Every structure is written in C-alpha cells, then in structure tokens.
C-alpha cells in the first residue's frame, strides 16, 4: 500500500521513515515501525498513522482530485464502496471501484461556479443600485424633512390665525345657538340619534361576536388537528358547516369546487328570505347607510332648518321685485331695500339673520380642525422621514450600506398548495387561501439573524417574522426567511417544517456582495490542480 | 389517556359475567364445576396421543360439548373444546392464522384410562403427567409429582352455549347495575343461578355510550381458570404498560383493579402503568419458579380479560374470560424458559432473519414534509458524519391520506428522492394504513370495491364506512382470500400487465410501515370497528378482532417480498399484532409519551414482547408526544440503541429533534451512541440468527438467563442481548450519575468501555452512569464481535474488519459466535452464510489459545431458520466474497489475562504478532491488544498467547 495515500501535499514531508525505519505519530505520542503507516490498523491516538485507510475514525483522507479541487473526506468514507463527489479521482476506494470523474465533475463544478459567479456579479450590480437608491433616499428624505420643517412653520402660523378667528366667532354665535338647541324637536332628534347609536353599537357588538365565532369555527374547521382523533371536534366542525352552508372540509378537493366563497356569514340565506315589509331597511342598507345618518351634523341641520323655516321671507315681493324693475333702477332699489330691511329688522318685523353667524362659527371651527390635522400630518411625515433616515444605514434595519432599503415594504408572493404566501418585507408575512377563507398572519418582522454579528453577510441571510396568528391548539405562527444571493427579489420555497413554523427561502440582490468581497471569493483560491 | 373511550371490565357484559362467576365461586362453600366428561363417549385415536370425549354441563343437559386433548411430539398439550350441534358455530379459525402448521401429535405417548380419570405419562424421565379428571372436568399437567398447570381447578370453566333469545328464563327486567355489582336474586325457576347468576346480564343487545352492539348470536363467551400451584410469578400477555412480572388484578391488595385486557386498541396518550389493552395481543403467559417454567397459550382472537392473583407467594391463579371462539389452549411444559420458547416457536414460528438495514438507526418524524426536506435531513446526517439507515415518511406524504398517492406538490419526484437516499446505501420506509378513503378516484379503494373485499356492516350487505385520517373510509377484509393477490400486486413498482393499478412511483428501496391496523376507527366504539361488522365467511368482527392487524402486516410483508425476483427480505413495521406476528417484521410500542415513566415502561414492554416471541421490537426514541429535554433525549437514545428496533419518531406538533439539532455536549453523546449501535450490529444480527432457529428472545430479562435465581425474577430494567454475554441497564431517570446493576452469577463482569471489573454472585453493584455513560457490561466467558469503523449506513460496513473482545471468565476462558450473510436475500436458506465460533481456552497453565472455527459445518441444521439444509459448504459464494474482500479480524482485545504475555503467535506459521499489554489495576482488568492477527473471518485460525 502506498504510504503516502491520503496525505495532503504539504504534509508529505512528515511521512518519511527514520534511519532505523521507524515513524512517530504526528502528535509525538508513539513511535512505530514504518510498516505501521497505512497498514489499515490504527496505532496513533491522533489517527495520523492511517491517512489512507478507514482504520482510524478520527482521521481524514486527502483526495488529490487532479482536474478539480483537492478535498479532505472523513476516513470513514474510505473504502466504503461508494464513490464520493468530493473524491472524484476515486482514490478513496480500491482500484477499479470508482472511475476518475474529476474531469466531468470539475467541469460541472466550474460551470456551476461560473453561473453562480454570474448571478453574484449581476446581483451585486443591482445591489449597488440599491445602495445608490438608499443614498438618494437619504438625500430625498433629508430634503423632505427640510421642506416639511418649513411647511410646519407656515402651517403653525395658519393654525394660530384660524384659532383666533374661530374663538372670536364662537363667542358671538354660541349664545344664539344654545337657545335654539332647547327646541323639543332638536332634543327629540338627539334622543333618536342616541337610541340609534346604541342600537348600532349593540348590533355591531353582536355582529363582531358572530364574526369572531365564525372565525374560530372556521379555523377549527380548516385547522383542527385530526391527530387528536376527537370526534367531538369533528361534530362541532360538521355542525358549523351545516349552519354556514359549507361543504365538509375533507370533501373539498384542492382546485375543485370553488367553494369557501369569501367571508363566512352565518345564515345569510335565511335573511334573504325575510319579507321586506313597511319599507324596512335591508341588511345592506343598514350596513351602508346607517353610518351616514349617524354622521349627520345636527348643529348644521339645526341651522339649515332655521334657514328653511325663514325662507318665505326671502321669497316675498320685496325680494322678487327686482325682476319687474328696469335695470337702470336696480342699484338704487338695492340700497333702498337694504335700508328698508334694516329698519324692518330693527322694528322686529322680520327676524334678524343670526343663522349666518352661527354657521360661520362652525365653519371657522372646521377650518381650524382641518388645518390642525394637516399640521399633525406633516409633523408625522417629518418624524417618520427622520426615523427612516436613521434606519437606512443601521445594521439592524436596512443594512450597513442601506442595501435593503429598496425593499422596504415590498411584497413578494409565492404560491404553494392551496395558499398564496405573502412576504411584505420588514412588515408582515401572510398566508392567503386561494379559494377564499380567512387570511392568517404568519408573523410580523422581528429581526435579522441574531446568531450572527450585525452587519455580517450571515446576519442578513436570515430573517424572523414572529407572533403571527395562533394555531388551533398550537403555537403562534412564525416564519424564518432564508435569504441567498439572486438577481431577483423572490420567495423560492415555503415549507412548514414544524407545525405553524414556516421556512421561506428567498433570493435578493441585496445579498449579492461583489465577487472577491467577503468570504465568497475564497473558494476559488483553494487548491485547484 | 381518555378513560371514557375504553371499557372497563364492568362495562363489558361478558367480562362482568365472568368476574361475577369468579366472585360467586369464592362466596360459595361447596363450589363445583358443572362440567364433566361422559365416560361413555371417550375415544382414543389409534397410535396417536389424542383423547376425545363428550362434555356436559349439569346446567344444560341438552347441550353437547366436545373435548379433545392432544399431546404433541414436544410434550406440549393442546386442549380444545367446542359446542357440538349448537345453533351456530363458534369461531374456530384462529389457529389457521396464528400457527405455522398443525402441530405434530405424539405417536408414542399413550393415554391410560382409569375409572375417574385418564392420564398420559411421558418425558425422558417419565416425570411429566397429564391427567384429565372426568367429574368435575379438570386437566392437570404435573412434573415430578408437582402440579404445574391446572385447568378448571377452581371450577370457572364456562362455555356459554348458543340459544334463542325467547329461550331466556323469565326474569323481571332489572336495570343493568353500574359498576358490575350484581344483585344476586336466586329465582326458583333458574336452577343454574348458583353458577350463572340469577339474572341475565347483557346476553343480547348491549349498549355502551352511543354505540349499540347487536350481538346477533347472543351470549357465547368462554371463561376458564388456569392455576399454577407451584409458580409464584407470571410474565407475558403483551401488550400492557406494566412491570414485566405481572402485578395482581384481583385478591387482597390487588395492584390493578381491572383484569389485563387483550383487545387491540388505538389508545391515545396511554398510561405508563395500566392493565388496559394496547395495540397488540399475544395471549401467551409464562409461569415461573426456581424449579420450573411453564406457559399457557390461549389461542383466541376475541376480546379477552385476564385476572391474576396469588393465593400464596408460591402460587398463581389466573382467570381468562373471552367473548367468543372455541377453547383452543396449549400447555407448554417447559421445564425452563428456553424450552418454553422452543415449544412456543414450534407453534407460531420464529422471526425470520431481518433485512440487515432494519437493525440500523431509523429516522422518522410525522412528517418530513417534502422530498426536499428528506434530502436535507439526509444531507445533515452526512455533513455530521453520523450513521442512519432509513428515512421514514408518515401519513402526510399521501395526498388526502390516500396511501400510495404522493402529494405531488410536496413530493413531486418520489422515485428520484428514494434513489437519492438509496445512493448512500440507505432505504426509505413509507406508511400504508389499512383504511381506504372512499373516493371514486382512489385506485386502491375502487379496486377493493370492485373486488368486493371490503369489510361489511352488520347487515352483511354493502360496505362498512368509518372515520379515520382521510375522513370517510372503508377497510379491506384481508380474511377474504380474494384480496390477497390484489394486495400483492399493488406494491409492484412497475406497470402491471393488464393495466390494473400498481405503485409505479416507488422502488424496491421503499419498505412499509403498517399503522392503525387494530383497526383504528375514530368514530367507532373504543376507537375501533363495531363488533357486529361482518368479515369473510360470515364471521363477526368480534371473532377475529385481535388477528386483524396481524393479517394486514402478513399480507403487506408478502407483498413487499414479492416485488422483486428473486425476492428480497422485506421490512414491515406494524403497530397491531398477535401471536405469530413475529414472522412478519417489526413492531413498536405505539404512541408513547415523552416522559421518563414512558421511557422506563417502554423497556418492560419490549421485554414482555420478547417473551411473547416478538423480539423485533422497540419504543419511539424521544417519545411520540411532547418535546423531551436534551438530557431525556440522550437517555432515550441509549434505550433505543439497546433495543432490537431502533427508531426515533415524533408527533407533528413537536419541535424537530434530529440528533444534529442537539447542542454540545448532548450531540456528541448521541453521535457516540449511534456509532456504538453500528459497531454492535454483528452482535444484533447474530442474536437474530439464534432466534430464527430457537425462538429464544433477543432481549433476555434476568429470569430467562438465570431462571433459578429468585432475586432476579422481578428485575425488568436490565437485560442481556442474545447469547452475546452483553448485559445492559439503560438509565431512565433524570439527574443520574450512578445506578445499581444486579449481577446474578459468580462471574466477573467487565465494563464494556472502561474494562472496570465487577464480581457477580448475587450482588447489587453501584456503577457509574453519568449522562455520557451507558451501563453496558460483558459477562466473563464471552467473546463479542464488533465492527468499529464508523460508516454512514450499515450497508457500507459489509466488508469491514472485526474486533473481538475476549472477556475471560474467572477460569480464564471464553467463547462467542458470529453469524454473517448478505443481509438482503434469502440465499442464507441455501447455505450462503458464514457462522463462526471463537473460543479462548487454556492450552497449558501459561498459555491461552484463541481460535476460530466453522459452526456451519458442525451444526448445519441449526444454523438458520426456514432452511432444510443438512450440509454446509464453507466455500459458498457468500463466504468466497468475504474471502476475496479480505474480511478479517483486525484486532483482538483480551480482557482479564492473568499474567504478562511473553509472546503472541499465529499457531501453525509461528508468526509473531504485535501486541500491547496493560496490566490489571485496581478494579480494572488487564487488557491485551493483539494487532491484526492476520485472521480472515472465513478461515480457521489460532492465536497462541504465552504468558
């Protein structure tokens, strides 16, 4: 047997006999006859006397793999009758067992590596555009912050001015309005409104409870764990299906009858059958129009009512006379009429036009409210922009170079089985049934790979989305996304490896470092012979 | 455990009646069995030890029973009784499914009739006697004047005859009492009330929970008492989660309140100590004492309850109550455990040699979710360089749980996936359950429907529908021969001629897991089929229930073997089983829980199974339910690696727990355990060879190895592995750093790893047992053969060299054997194997000879089971292959040599061998390591040590 079989070229010098034809274990622990080297019997504790056999379980075998990359394999794979891809020259097996496949394996390897390199190159170009984008974003956001700051100053002044107006008009009109609000009609209206609101609240509460119950039963139906072999659960599911008019879940063929149509609404069929007497509202009308009614501005209504009641005054001869007068007399008539009206009002013959003042006050209030909320919106925008600026180059957010900023809130989709899996970057992962039914949150963005150093490529190779919807009888759903370099942002697979724990694989150019950078380039410098 | 899903004895009409009968017998002063033999009807078959006679019950003079007692060639006694000319026929076909052949009846043993009894005396010392007493009927087997087994000694024999419903005596309807406490109201018009009770109790239709059992044939239960007047301990009747030495169920301070039940059932989260029935039933019970071991085998397939009590420390009384079927009972006379194993093996057969990969490590989970997942798991094992032989797929591979039908979304390339696994010398096991989804597009269902081989409902018309994993399902009735050829054709991995459906998307590397074959029916009574369902031949499900699961794995086993030509050994794992199931593969203890208690009881359950002839057994490593902490998982791997069937499995709701996911130091400890298992594969395989021939179990509890040592009778947490001399005591408790091992005999025991020595002689010895330490010992006098090179799969080890551990006895000698064959085909039955014995014997006062010789030539008829060879050719082609591949002994380790070796030579050539010697130290044996003795495994050789 070749004494140097399995020895790495740089260690060849260590495998030479002494003059007395002995040899020392590499750890120096034992001196052996030279014949003990590679004699298929393990003598040395460190396994160094058997580089070319499987005798020492702690040893390694060096495959030269001429034409490809040299490689170590564990000694346990030497002489096991299998041809290893890592030992394409077949030197780990008896002659004749494994043909030398280094040429083809090497070629395939290089082709594969070239392809990967190409992807990496293309990806890294895209990545640099992402980085540029991040810088541009930063600049844009900084500009935005600046202009928003200016806008805030202007808006603040505007708000001040409007507040002033509002306060003044308010004090004028408040007293008159209060008087009118004492009218029995208005009070009764308010009572009706209160009753309606209460009814609506109750109705809403019940509808919510019903929906929640439906959701619970719905997820029981789709997600119940038949492993518990619990016929009581099965009974509940069947009962619900009957009530909700659904086919049995086990009878549904994927892609078959497109049942599970949308939201599950209990007893919809029954309601449709009810007679619509006395012009009562339907459920749809209730849902759609009740809100409008309850949203009525009663003060405005009161003011409008005043105008309506007093309208005939405006329609009297005095107001309509203009149509009979020649155009030349009109200016004189207007002056006269104004004077007359003023007198009539003073004498109490026609009521004073107080209504105008009241609505003016509410209009002033409205203007103030609009302006204030506008101001708050701008302030919010500014602080969001500011915090985004911080995140852009933060290692725990969009990466040291901001390379992930481009994908902020981008949503990727992947279809698998009966579901579409959605991944909204840095936001939330979701599972949407293709045939309708409830969408489940699989978790919200939690962190990158906390086992790695922030900023390192490994750090960005994993993303956690946690605290999704809780599973029936199980944990909260969660997702681990395994990222690799690719020319596209895409989810490439989804698997539920453990119950309610999903693993996505995904590619993104954001992970494509330029070849040569990081640890990606080292491979090609390895022993290629 | 959902107690309300399963009946107690008091909720089962016939059990309630049986127990009430026993209770009355205790309360009645002059109780005497009403059954007796009519001497005028006795007939003895000429030249055969067959006794036949009519039996009458004084309660029903018009009813006729027939009794037949046969003494078999091996001295076992078979007792059969049936009703003659009854309204219906009792089920009498259990033997045809369970026994391998009609047992041979002795031609030499003679019955000798007396006035009151008839007897046969036999045995080499003429010390065995069978006495049949006429009135009352009683059958006694004795040895050396001591009663061993007595049937009907307590007068509890009762075979309920078939009757018409209106025939029932007029008794006022009283509500069925809860809890089985019966009011005894003796009615004048019921003269049998002293025996049967005053009232009819659940003779006909019987309701339990939402289910009503129509019981169309009315009462047909069978009660019999079996006493062992000179045996203080009984073992067996698996499957129950109990101690090996069966605790009592009746009498004062009974440990359990209900009888042991045999009624195959899918019990969710079963208890760790309970007499409730579990997934399988083997109605075989050993009775044991320092003087003798005997056994009874009650060949009945219906629901059976067994009460156990001790009237003294030295005696055991049992009471067997079955729902239907004839009496067909075997008395196995022993006189020791090995003889009982042989006698039982003659009846139900032995385990065949398993496919070698079946002894490797099995990695399972409910579920590996996709073919990519499977590949990734395999890759992780390879990256970590740890061995695994089989990757498993549970029910989620099958679309809609239609077995055979791959979910194409998750398993788009099943054949390629299997081939990728097989490329590293591994196999896959895929689950196929007996329930078929009622789906007109499911070829397995439609074929069974077309063949009309589905189990029928009580009407006997149409198809029974029940609920299981796929929803509404039906079950193939494998009692129907029309199902057999079809089932065998389904597993063919190629297109069948004629175009009927077969599993083309599989390969010969796919083996099968049969689960849920009790059968499990989610909406059925006790999670199984209604008892009044109808099987082939018109038999009710109640008649065949306990056999049902065995028949399914039997047919699957045949189907998998028949895939290839010439056939290859199949691997089939079954959950349900019966007496005889050992012939059809492996079993596991079912859905255990991830608790220390379940880990501990799992060992006892596997031991009980071993006693029941079903050695190829194991528990789910890690526990099926729950997430075991790392320490528990490590201990569980130690338990699993020391069981014949070694599989890790986990419920779908658990976290993943493949060994490579463990952190340090747990991971390395588990890797070490896996490597230990692989190094010991020759030990396991050799132990299997032995069981194929002798029926002796692979795992041997203390009483089996040392039947005369009373102190070992209750020990069921340590055991020997085959005849290897290896004794193991797995730790099944938390936070343990040492444990106590019992060494029975006056012999030295060596720690397998450290060579520390312990002296036996009935001592309980503390041994180190920290988490990384498995208490494993070699008994002095043994030679253990191992293969120490770690490989990725067992198939990659077949030409690896051997290491011999020569553990010298107190007298300085040792021996052991090693059996090898291709592990795959049936060529071993044609003599293609190697069977060697290694012997270390003193030549002179100061020299030791270690030699290897051929056992195949010496004992060709005893080499392998199912072989009729009378000669052996040491130059068979398998042996030649080993010779050509230079398969050899690479190292001999001699433990306990007394004296410093001066030379180690090959005898004959005189060639000097290199060796190293480490003298004995306090409590550690001397170790002599002989390097490469130039010893081919197929050659005779001798090494001479001078000291």
pLDDT of residue A356: 52
The mean per-residue pLDDT over the stretch B682-706 comes to 98
The mean per-residue pLDDT over the stretch B620-628 comes to 96
Residue B423 pLDDT exceeds 90: yes
Joined together, the tokens standing for residue A147 give 């202009």
User: Which residues have CB under 8 Å from A482's CB, separation 6+?
Assistant: A461, A462, A503, A504, A505, A506
Residue B97 pLDDT exceeds 60: yes
> Which residue would you say has higher pLDDT here, B770 or A328?
B770
Joined together, the tokens standing for residue B432 give 């196929």
Q: What are the Cα distances from residue A104, in Å, to A94, A344, A527, B192?
A: 21, 110, 17, 90
3-state secondary structure of A522: helix
Q: What is the mean pLDDT of chain A?
A: 83
Tallying the residues shown for chain B, one arrives at: 947
- CB of A245 within 8 A of CB of A269? yes
Q: To probe the interface with A, which of B399, B524, B649, B790 has the most A CB atoms within 10 Å?
A: B790
What CA–CA distance (Å, rounded) separates B692 from B583?
9
**Residue B855 DSSP label:** S
pLDDT of residue A322: 63
The residue of chain B with its CA nearest to that of A39 is B932
> Which ipTM was obtained for this model?
0.90
Q: Is residue B912 annotated as part of the catalytic site, yes or no?
A: no
Domain pair B356-694 / B798-946, same fold:
no
Among B199, B206, B463, B515, which one carries the catalytic annotation?
Answer: B515
The mean per-residue pLDDT over the stretch B353-371 comes to 97
Q: Is residue B543 annotated as part of the catalytic site, yes or no?
A: no
Looking at the DSSP bridge assignments, the partners of residue B390 are B362, B427
**Interfacial B residues in 369-428 facing A (CB < 8 Å):** 369-370, 372-373, 385, 400, 409-410, 423-425
Which CATH architecture group holds A405-525?
Answer: Distorted Sandwich (2.70)
pLDDT tens, position by position, B777-786: 999 999 999 9
Residue B148 pLDDT exceeds 70: yes
pLDDT of residue A52: 96
Joined together, the tokens standing for residue A114 give 């070239």
Which CATH architecture group holds B798-946?
Answer: Sandwich (2.60)
Is A82 within 8 Å of B424 when comparing Cβ atoms? yes
What CA–CA distance (Å, rounded) separates A234 from A229?
9
Residues of A in contact with B400 (CB under 8 A): 250, 253
Complete DSSP assignment for A128-157: HHHHHHHHHHHHHHHHHHHHHHHHHHHHHH
Complete DSSP assignment for A220-275: HHHH--GGG--HHHHHHHHHHHHHHT---GGGPPTTSS--S-SS--TTHHHHHTS-
Q: To probe the interface with B, which of A78, A227, A417 has the most B CB atoms within 10 Å?
A: A227
H or E element, residue B233 = strand B233-236
User: Which residues have CB under 8 Å from B659's CB, separation 6+?
Assistant: B384, B386, B637, B648, B667, B670, B671, B674
Kindly calculate the radius of gyration of chain A based on its CA atoms and give it in whole angstroms. 41
Best CA proximity match to B235, nearest among B293, B162, B299, B185 = B293
Domain boundaries, chain A: 1-100, 405-525
Residue B78 pLDDT exceeds 50: yes
Is A227 within 8 Å of B652 when comparing Cβ atoms? yes
- CB of A76 within 8 A of CB of A90? no
What CA–CA distance (Å, rounded) separates A245 from A259?
10
Domain boundaries, chain B: 356-694, 798-946
Residue B392 pLDDT exceeds 60: yes
Q: What class has domain B356-694?
A: alpha beta
> Which residue would you say has higher pLDDT here, B701 or B5?
B701
Residue corresponding to tokens 């895929």: B430
Q: To probe the interface with B, which of A233, A498, A505 has the most B CB atoms within 10 Å?
A: A498
pLDDT tens, position by position, B563-598: 999 999 999 999 999 999 999 999 999 999 999 999
H or E element, residue A204 = helix A184-223
Residues of B in contact with A227 (CB under 8 A): 651-653
pLDDT of residue B851: 97
**Which stretches of chain A drop beneath a pLDDT of 70?**
1, 170-174, 225-229, 250-278, 306-307, 309-327, 344-361, 517-529
Q: What is the mean pLDDT of chain B?
A: 95
Q: Is residue B515 annotated as part of the catalytic site, yes or no?
A: yes
Phi then psi dihedrals of residue B921, to 5 deg:
-125, 180
Chain B nearest C-alpha distance from A501 (Å)? 9
HEC per residue, B713-725 = CCCCCCEEECCCC
Residue from the list A81, A234, A495 with its beta carbon closest to the beta carbon of B796: A81
pLDDT tens, position by position, B512-555: 999 999 999 999 999 999 999 999 999 999 999 999 999 999 99
Residues of A in contact with B401 (CB under 8 A): none
Best CA proximity match to A294, nearest among A185, A186, A193 = A193
Among B206, B591, B620, B658, which one carries the catalytic annotation?
Answer: B591
Is B655 within 8 Å of A43 when comparing Cβ atoms? no
* CA B143 remoteness from chain centre: 28
pLDDT tens, position by position, B303-336: 999 999 999 999 999 999 999 999 999 999 999 9
Residues of A in contact with B788 (CB under 8 A): 57
pLDDT tens, position by position, B328-360: 999 999 999 999 999 999 999 999 999 999 999
Q: To probe the interface with B, which of A80, A98, A434 has the most B CB atoms within 10 Å?
A: A80
pLDDT of residue A353: 53
What CA–CA distance (Å, rounded) separates A464 from B910?
70
The residue of chain A with its CA nearest to that of B657 is A498
Termini Cα distance of chain B: 63
Return the beta strands (E) in B752-833 as ranges. 757-759, 763-768, 776-779, 782-786, 802-807, 814-820
Chain B nearest C-alpha distance from A287 (Å)? 39
User: Which residues have CB under 8 Å from A158's CB, separation 6+?
Assistant: A371
Residue corresponding to tokens 């399902």: B473
Neighbour-count burial for B163-179, b at 16+ CB within 10 Å, e otherwise:
beeeeeeeeeeeebeee
Instruction: Enumerate chain A positions whose Cβ falls within 8 A of a Cβ in B.
Output: 39-41, 43, 54-55, 57, 74, 76-77, 79-82, 225-229, 231, 234, 248, 250-251, 253, 416-417, 473-474, 493, 495-499
What CA–CA distance (Å, rounded) separates A249 from A224?
10
Residue from the list A225, A248, A498 with its beta carbon closest to the beta carbon of B656: A498
Joined together, the tokens standing for residue B109 give 């043993």
Percentage of chain B lying above the pLDDT 90 cut: 94
Confidence category of residue B181, pLDDT binned at 50, 70, 90: very low
Q: What are the Cα distances from residue B242, in Å, to A235, B260, B597, B608, B615?
A: 35, 10, 11, 9, 18
Residue B710 pLDDT exceeds 60: yes
């Amino acid at each position: 047997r070749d004494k140097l079989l399995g020895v790495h070229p740089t260690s060849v010098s260590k495998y030479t006999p002494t003059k007395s034809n002995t040899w020392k274990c590499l750890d120096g622990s034992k001196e052996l006859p030279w014949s003990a080297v590679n004699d298929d019997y393990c003598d040395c504790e460190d396994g160094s006397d058997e580089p070319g056999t499987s005798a020492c379980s702690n040893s390694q075998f060096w495959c030269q793999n001429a034409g490809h990359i040299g490689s170590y394999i564990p000694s346990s794979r030497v002489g096991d009758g299998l041809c290893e891809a890592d030992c394409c020259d077949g030197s780990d097996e008896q002659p004749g067992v494994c043909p030398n496949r280094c040429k083809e394996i090497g070629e395939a390897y290089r082709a594969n590596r070239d392809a990967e390199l190409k992807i990496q190159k293309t990806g890294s170009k895209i990545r640099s555009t992402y980085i540029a984008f991040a810088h541009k974003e930063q600049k844009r956001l900084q500009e935005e912050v600046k202009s928003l700051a200016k806008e805030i100053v202007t808006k603040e002044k505007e708000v001040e001015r409007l507040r002033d107006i509002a306060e003044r008009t308010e004090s004028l009109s408040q007293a008159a309005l209060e008087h009118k609000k004492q009218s029995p009609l208005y009070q009764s209206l308010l009572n009706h409104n209160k009753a309606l609101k209460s009814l609506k609240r109750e109705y809403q509460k019940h509808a919510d409870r019903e929906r929640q119950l439906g959701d619970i039963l719905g997820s029981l139906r789709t997600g119940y764990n038949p492993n518990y072999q619990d016929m009581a659960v099965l009974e509940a599911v069947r009962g619900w299906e009957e009530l909700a008019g659904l086919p049995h879940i086990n009878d549904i063929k994927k892609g078959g009858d497109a049942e599970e149509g949308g939201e599950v609404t209990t007893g919809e069929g029954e309601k449709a059958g009810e007679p619509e007497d006395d012009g009562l509202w339907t459920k749809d009308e209730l849902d759609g129009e009740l809100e409008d009614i309850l949203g009525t501005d009663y003060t405005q209504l009161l003011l409008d009512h005043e105008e309506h009641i007093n309208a005939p005054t405006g329609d009297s001869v005095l107001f309509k006379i203009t149509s009979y007068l020649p155009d030349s007399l009109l200016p004189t008539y207007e002056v006269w009429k104004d004077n007359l009206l003023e007198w009539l009002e003073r004498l109490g013959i026609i009521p004073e036009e107080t209504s105008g003042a009241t609505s003016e006050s509410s209009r002033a209030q409205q203007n103030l409210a609009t302006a204030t909320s506008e101001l708050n919106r701008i302030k919010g925008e500014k602080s969001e922009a500011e915090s985004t600026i911080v995140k852009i180059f933060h290692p725990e957010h969009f990466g040291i170079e901001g390379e992930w900023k481009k994908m902020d809130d981008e949503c990727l989709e992947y279809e698998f089985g009966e579901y579409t899996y959605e991944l909204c970057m840095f936001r939330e992962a979701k599972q949407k049934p293709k045939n309708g039914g409830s969408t489940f949150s699989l978790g919200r963005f939690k962190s990158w790979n906390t086992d790695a150093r922030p900023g390192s490529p490994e750090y960005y190779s994993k993303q956690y989305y946690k605290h999704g919807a809780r599973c029936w009888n199980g944990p909260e759903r969660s997702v681990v996304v395994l990222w690799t370099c690719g020319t596209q942002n895409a989810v490439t697979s989804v698997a539920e490896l453990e119950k309610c724990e999903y693993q996505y694989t995904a590619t993104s150019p954001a992970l494509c470092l330029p070849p040569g950078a990081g640890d990606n380039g080292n491979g090609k410098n390895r022993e290629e012979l | 455990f959902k107690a309300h899903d399963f009946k107690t004895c008091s909720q089962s009409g016939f059990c309630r009646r049986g127990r009430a009968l026993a209770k009355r017998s205790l309360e009645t002063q002059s109780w005497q069995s009403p059954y007796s033999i009519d001497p005028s009807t006795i007939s003895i078959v000429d030249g055969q030890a067959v006794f036949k006679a009519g039996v009458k019950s004084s309660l029903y003079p018009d009813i006729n029973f027939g009794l037949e007692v046969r003494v078999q060639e091996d001295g076992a006694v078979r007792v059969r009784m049936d009703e003659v000319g009854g309204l219906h026929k009792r089920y009498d076909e259990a033997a045809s499914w369970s026994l391998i052949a009609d047992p041979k009846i002795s031609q030499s043993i003679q019955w000798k009739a007396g006035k009151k009894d008839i007897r046969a005396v036999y045995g080499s010392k003429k010390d065995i006697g069978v006495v049949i007493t006429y009135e009352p009927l009683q059958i006694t087997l004795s040895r050396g004047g001591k009663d061993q087994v007595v049937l009907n000694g307590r007068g509890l024999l009762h075979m309920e005859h078939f009757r018409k419903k209106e025939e029932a005596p007029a008794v006022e309807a009283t509500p069925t009492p809860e809890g089985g406490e019966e009011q005894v109201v003796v009615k004048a018009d019921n003269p049998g009330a002293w025996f049967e009770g005053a009232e009819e109790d659940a003779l006909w239709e019987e309701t339990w929970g939402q289910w009503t059992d129509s019981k169309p044939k009315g009462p047909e239960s069978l009660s019999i008492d079996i006493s062992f007047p000179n045996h203080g301990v009984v073992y067996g009747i698996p499957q129950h989660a109990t101690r090996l030495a069966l605790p009592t169920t009746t009498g004062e301070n009974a440990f359990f309140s209900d009888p042991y039940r045999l009624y195959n059932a899918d019990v969710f989260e079963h208890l760790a100590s309970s007499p409730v029935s579990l997934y399988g039933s083997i109605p075989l019970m050993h009775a044991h004492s320092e003087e003798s071991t005997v056994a009874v085998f009650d060949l009945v397939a219906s629901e059976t309850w067994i009460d156990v009590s001790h009237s003294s420390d030295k005696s055991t009384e049992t009471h067997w109550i079955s729902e239907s079927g004839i009496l067909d009972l075997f008395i196995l006379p022993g006189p020791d455990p090995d003889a009982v194993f042989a006698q039982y093996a003659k009846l139900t057969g032995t385990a065949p040699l398993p496919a070698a990969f079946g002894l490797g490590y099995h990695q399972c989970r409910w579920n590996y979710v996709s073919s990519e997942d499977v590949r990734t798991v395999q890759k992780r094992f390879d990256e970590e360089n740890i061995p695994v032989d089989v990757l498993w797929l549970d029910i989620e591979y099958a679309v809609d749980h239609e077995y055979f039908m791959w979910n194409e979304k998750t398993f788009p390339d099943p054949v390629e996936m299997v081939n990728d696994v097989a490329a590293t010398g591994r196999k896959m096991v895929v689950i196929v359950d007996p329930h078929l989804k009622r789906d007109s597009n499911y070829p397995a269902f439609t074929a069974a429907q077309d063949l009309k081989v589905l189990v029928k409902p009580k009407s006997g018309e149409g198809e029974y529908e029940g609920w299981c994993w796929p929803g509404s399902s039906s079950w193939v009735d494998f009692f129907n021969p029309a199902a057999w050829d079809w089932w065998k054709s389904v597993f063919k991995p190629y297109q069948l001629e004629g175009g009927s459906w077969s599993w083309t998307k599989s390969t010969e590397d796919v083996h099968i897991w049969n689960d849920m074959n009790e059968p499990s029916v989610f909406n059925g009574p006790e999670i199984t089929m209604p008892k009044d369902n109808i099987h082939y031949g018109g038999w009710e499900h109640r008649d065949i229930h306990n056999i049902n699961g065995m028949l399914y794995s039997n047919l699957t086993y045949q189907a998998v073997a028949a895939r290839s030509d010439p056939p290859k050994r199949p691997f089939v794992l079954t959950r349900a089983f019966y007496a005889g199931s050992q012939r059809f593969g492996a079993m596991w203890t079912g859905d255990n829980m991830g608790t220390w208690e379940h880990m501990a009881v799992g060992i006892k359950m596997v031991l009980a199974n071993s006693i029941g002839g079903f050695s190829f057994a194991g528990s789910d490593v890690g526990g099926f339910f729950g997430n075991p902490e790392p320490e528990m998982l490590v201990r569980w791997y130690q338990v699993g690696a020391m069981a014949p069937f070694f599989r890790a499995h986990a419920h779908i709701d658990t976290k993943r727990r493949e060994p490579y996911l463990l952190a340090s130091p747990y991971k390395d400890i588990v890797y070490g355990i896996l490597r230990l298992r692989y190094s010991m594969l020759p030990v396991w395989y050799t132990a299997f060879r032995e069981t194929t021939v002798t029926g002796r179990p692979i795992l041997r509890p203390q009483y089996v190895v040392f039947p005369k040592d009373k102190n070992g009778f209750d020990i069921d947490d340590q055991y020997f592995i085959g005849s290897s001399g290896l004794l193991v005591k797995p730790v099944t408790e938390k936070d343990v750093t040492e444990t106590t091992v019992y060494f029975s005999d006056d012999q030295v025991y060596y720690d397998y790893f450290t060579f520390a020595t312990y002296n036996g002689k009935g001592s309980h010895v503390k041994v180190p047992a920290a988490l990384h330490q498995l208490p494993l010992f070699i008994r002095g006098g043994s030679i253990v053969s191992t293969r120490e090179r770690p490989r990725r799969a067992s198939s990659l080890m077949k030409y690896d060299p051997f290491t011999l551990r020569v553990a010298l006895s107190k007298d300085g000698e040792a021996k052991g054997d090693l059996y090898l064959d291709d592990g795959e085909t049936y060529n071993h039955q044609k003599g293609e194997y190697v069977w060697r014995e290694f012997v270390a014997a003193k030549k002179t006062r100061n020299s030791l000879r270690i030699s290897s010789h051929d056992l195949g030539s010496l004992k060709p008829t005893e080499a392998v089971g199912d072989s009729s060879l009378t000669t052996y050719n040491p130059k068979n082609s398998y042996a030649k292959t080993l010779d050509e591949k230079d398969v050899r002994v690479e190292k001999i380790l001699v433990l306990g040599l007394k004296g410093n070796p001066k030379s180690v030579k090959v005898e004959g050539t005189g060639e000097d061998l290199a060796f190293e010697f480490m003298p004995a130290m306090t409590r550690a044996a001397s170790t002599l390591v002989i390097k490469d003795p130039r010893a081919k495994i197929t050659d005779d050789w001798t090494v001479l040590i001078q000291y």
